[in-house]
Amino acid sequence: MDMIKNLTNVRGIKCWGAHTGIKSLRRDLAIIYSDVVASAAGVFTQNKVTAAPVDLTKKHIADGKAQAIVINAGNANAATGEQGRKGAEAMAQTMADELGIDKELVLVSSTGIIGEPFPTDDIVEGIKENAKKLSKKSNAGSFAANAILTTDTYPKEGFTEFDVDGYEVNMAGIAKGSGMIHPNMATMLAFVVTDAAIESGLLQSMVKEAVDKSFNMITVDGDTSTNDMVLVLANGKAHNDIIKTEQDPGYDNLKENLEEMMTHLAKQIVSDGEGASKFIQYEVKNASSIDTARKLIREISDSTLVKAAMFGRDPNWGRIIGAAGNAGIPFDYTKTDLYIGSDKNQVKMLDQGVPQPFDRNMMKKLLRESHIHITLDLHQGEAKAVGWGTDLTTDYVMFNSVYTT
């Protein structure tokens, strides 16, 4: 991933990010605009309490087309009733008016505190003031990446260029998330743009698969937000022949790069988990199905006891196996191998379910590393999955005990 180039290096994409007063001292309004109508796809929170922008964007993206995304930070516009619904509508209408496009081509997103009255007037004025500043300059892309942050300590960005059937294609993405991260498509938002040409229905299925491998395999605290969404725009300005089927030239390469982009952004979110001191990679190998492997990872990575053990550098493998047993997935513990360690040195803790001798002091030293690997080999099939999580620290508890005060 190229960390210098950003959203504005994608053909036809302009951006801006500005401070409107919703948040003190930080940018809080981001705009992403394609100068042509793009194929659009989105995946949204499975939380039964959905924010007003989620409801509106689902409606606007239903036809697979979009041209602009407008995002505010500092207020989630969730649990805000009719006032919030009108606020989301006002964001879309104002953005459309300023850009001279149809309202239905505007997608809306919000992030911040739930249940606070939505500052519609401030955001509308901010859109009017900043729409005219949309730019192809690199700093405009950086401004947008910074404007969507809440408790994040740094912006999450990525850029890549690759070949699609002989045409050079660009792709870039930004994301935010630090707490309320347990997507099921936390607070988690991601926006990806590409100049590839692809039919919108095919893009939707591609996005869903990529999200399942990336954003749906991360956790910080087990809480799925009211506002989670991943949006992708593909405006076709690379001029490749439009990809209409999975058999078309370039489909595989586009899909691979989209998955890599989303995985890159997802791992950045975990690395910035609230109060986290460790980045933990979980791998399940030789499972009976991908679904089994993914469910085991999500159960283990979300276990409070496992995360607390990793924070305390405690090689208590029983907590990992116990969490796996809680996943509701039948697997044969007596065939399972378990490894715990660092990036470079994993120690075998179980062999076919039998505990193995290990040097406890050496393991505690390994677990001081900031990157930890935990691997389960089930020996029950050929499927595998990878996921990412954090430890549970005293800093996380302190931070979230005074979040609104």
Which sequence positions are flagged as catalytic? 187
Q: Which helix (H) or strand (E) holds 394?
A: helix 394-401
Q: Which two tokens stand for residue 348?
A: 């075998």
CB 127 within 8 A of CB 137: no
Q: How many CB atoms lie within 10 A of CB 153?
A: 9
Q: Which residues pair with 112 in a beta bridge?
A: 74
Dist. CA 381–CA 379, nearest whole Å? 6
- SS3 string, 139-194, reads HHHHHHHHHCCCCCCCCEEEEEEEEECCEEEEEEEEEECCCCCCCCCCCCEEEEEE
Distance spanning both ends of the chain, measured CA to CA: 38
Name all contacts of 207-212 with Cβ < 8 Å and 24+ positions apart.
Answer: 207/41, 207/42, 207/43, 207/232, 207/258, 208/41, 208/43, 209/255, 209/259, 210/255, 210/258, 210/259, 210/262, 211/43, 211/183, 211/185, 211/262, 212/185, 212/294
Nearest to 111 by CA among 67, 77, 145, 61: 77
Using the Cα atoms of residue 327, residue 331, residue 333 and residue 337 in order, give the sign of their dihedral.
negative
Q: Which residues pair with 73 in a beta bridge?
A: 111
Dist. CA 158–CA 173, nearest whole Å? 5
Using the Cα atoms of residue 403, residue 279, residue 186 and residue 174 in order, give the sign of their dihedral.
positive
CB 33 within 8 A of CB 191: no
